Copies of this chain bind each other. A is one copy, B any other.
Amino acid sequence: MKQIDLMKELHVPSDKKIIMLVMDGLGGVPGAGGKTELEAAHTPNMDRLCRDSICGLSTPISPGITPGSGPGHLGLFGYDPLEYQIGRGVLEALGIGLVLTPKSLAARGNFCTLDPATGVITDRRAGRIPTQKCTELVEKLSPIKLDGVEVIVRPVQDYRFALILEGEGLEDGLSETDPQRTGLKPLQVKPLHPGAKKSAKLLNQWIEKAFAVLKGESPANGCTLRGIAKDPGLTSYREVYGLKACAIATYPMYKGLARLVGMDVLDAGTTISSEMKTLKDNWNTYDFFFFHVKKTDSSGEDGNFDAKVKVIEEVDAIIPEIMGLKPNVLVITGDHSTPSVQKSHSWHELPVLFHADNILADAVSEFGERPCMSGGLGHIRHVDLMPLAMAHADKLTKYGA
């Protein structure tokens, strides 16, 4: 039996409340000083909390796999990321704050350079044009209309844009138009099953009109469409867990990911302290709180060890306020590791602090990668966290008699 189905079958109501505090890209590897960012950070509040908690290390997907934001969060939310996949077009749309509906079909677009004479691609990324140029081109593409559907086109970054069609009968299951190497013409969108014919026809019409608009531009006189997909239609938190769940996040991508599993997305401002205020203001309304902190990841991606340490310390400073709310379960972890020394997401396991009633507290007294290696939770996977949180909040009944 799949975990999602097990949760659907076993969940029962309780008054208890769960907070999942996610520091994006939390995990690290040692920097010059021999410590990871979390180990180097001064975190007296989380260290104290460790003593009444069980700690461990968690693998987001499976050993050695570096997750993108989508799979990392699906794992945290309890949806096996190897089974449930979110199309790139959908993630691109969520990342710029577009709200998708069941009628939306989303694609990632790449501007490219075509040889004016032959029409073959000479640069798949149009010389990596700056975002400003991308925005100007998208403005020129915006007036394109298609019969019977709404068309939304938005700049993303550099040569990337998002294209969304909105209307009845738009199915996914479509080939991409990027031939994956230069010297070939962009491909047509092909339906991979009969139900996707309408979508393919409309997208090919859009491409034809777009090429007409872009003709004469340089270097971006063409484009390709990739990852054409719909909202994957994940079973909602309400149905899987019986939870009334909300997301407290400052970045569009994470609000969008939370929306995919049916969480309410709260207005949380732009700082950790505005997020904290949102948590307090909504404490009585929900029983599950996904609290997302972005800047651990961004500073890791920048290779800025000290900045990441500071963000972790800023989170540590709100722990007393969080504990003041008396959550029944508080899980502190990240979606994946982003070691500053690697300047990118990584596959490393990342520390988990799990605090709850009826916990088998371990001997870990400091929240960090190395102390968590010998924690009582052992080595778990992200998908294990939600069942454990549900159990400790008395929200799961017995399996079998």
Segment of A214-222, A294-302, A362-370 in the binding face: A362-370
A358 to B340, CA, bound (A): 11
Q: A64-B388, A86-B400, A396-B65 are in contact. Are A339 and B362 (CB under 8 A)?
A: no
B30 touching A387, Cβ below 8 Å: no
Which residues from 318 to 365 on chain A have a C-beta closer than 8 Å to any C-beta of chain B? 339, 341-342, 345-349, 358-363
The smallest C-beta distance from A145 to any residue of chain B, in angstroms, reads 29
Residues of B contacting A66 in the complex (Cβ-Cβ under 8 angstroms): 391, 396-399
Which residues from 376 to 401 on chain A have a C-beta closer than 8 Å to any C-beta of chain B? 376, 378-380, 384, 386-392, 396-401
Residues of B contacting A380 in the complex (Cβ-Cβ under 8 angstroms): 63, 379
Q: Does A146 contact B (CB under 8 A)?
A: no
Q: Does A107 contact B (CB under 8 A)?
A: no
Please pick, from B81, B374, B397, B399, the residue contacting A400 in the complex, using a CB distance under 8 A.
B81
A378 touching B378, Cβ below 8 Å: yes
Residues of B contacting A389 in the complex (Cβ-Cβ under 8 angstroms): 64
A67 touching B370, Cβ below 8 Å: no
Residues of B contacting A360 in the complex (Cβ-Cβ under 8 angstroms): 29-30, 36, 348-349, 369-370, 373
Give A388's nearest chain B residue, CB to CB.
B64
A342 to B380, CA, bound (A): 24
Give A369's nearest chain B residue, CB to CB.
B360
Please pick, from B65, B342, B370, B378, the residue contacting A387 in the complex, using a CB distance under 8 A.
B65
Q: Does A57 contact B (CB under 8 A)?
A: yes
Which of A36, A71, A82, A342 has the most chain B CB atoms inside 10 A of its CB? Answer: A82
Give A86's nearest chain B residue, CB to CB.
B400
A384 touching B29, Cβ below 8 Å: no
Interface residues on A, range: 35 or more
Q: A362-B373, A373-B362 are in contact. Are A398 and B63 (CB under 8 A)?
A: no
A86 to B358, CA, bound (A): 29
Give A28's nearest chain B residue, CB to CB.
B360
A36 to B91, CA, bound (A): 47
The smallest C-beta distance from A69 to any residue of chain B, in angstroms, reads 7
A376 touching B376, Cβ below 8 Å: no
Q: Does A96 contact B (CB under 8 A)?
A: no
Residues of B contacting A347 in the complex (Cβ-Cβ under 8 angstroms): 387-388, 391, 396
Which of A3, A361, A391, A400 has the most chain B CB atoms inside 10 A of its CB? Answer: A400
Residues of B contacting A342 in the complex (Cβ-Cβ under 8 angstroms): 358
Please pick, from B70, B348, B376, the residue contacting A370 in the complex, using a CB distance under 8 A.
B376
A363 to B368, CA, bound (A): 14
Residues of B contacting A36 in the complex (Cβ-Cβ under 8 angstroms): 360
The smallest C-beta distance from A66 to any residue of chain B, in angstroms, reads 5
Give A376's nearest chain B residue, CB to CB.
B373
Residues of B contacting A3 in the complex (Cβ-Cβ under 8 angstroms): 62
Q: Does A68 contact B (CB under 8 A)?
A: yes
A176 to B123, CA, bound (A): 60
A401 touching B30, Cβ below 8 Å: no
Q: Does A10 contact B (CB under 8 A)?
A: yes
Q: A358-B339, A374-B374 are in contact. Are A81 and B399 (CB under 8 A)?
A: yes
The smallest C-beta distance from A369 to any residue of chain B, in angstroms, reads 6
Q: Chain A: residues with CB nearer than 8 A to chain B?
A: 1, 3, 6, 10, 29-30, 36, 57, 61-71, 81-83, 85-86, 88, 91-92, 227, 339, 341-342, 345-349, 358-363, 369-370, 373-376, 378-380, 384, 386-392, 396-401
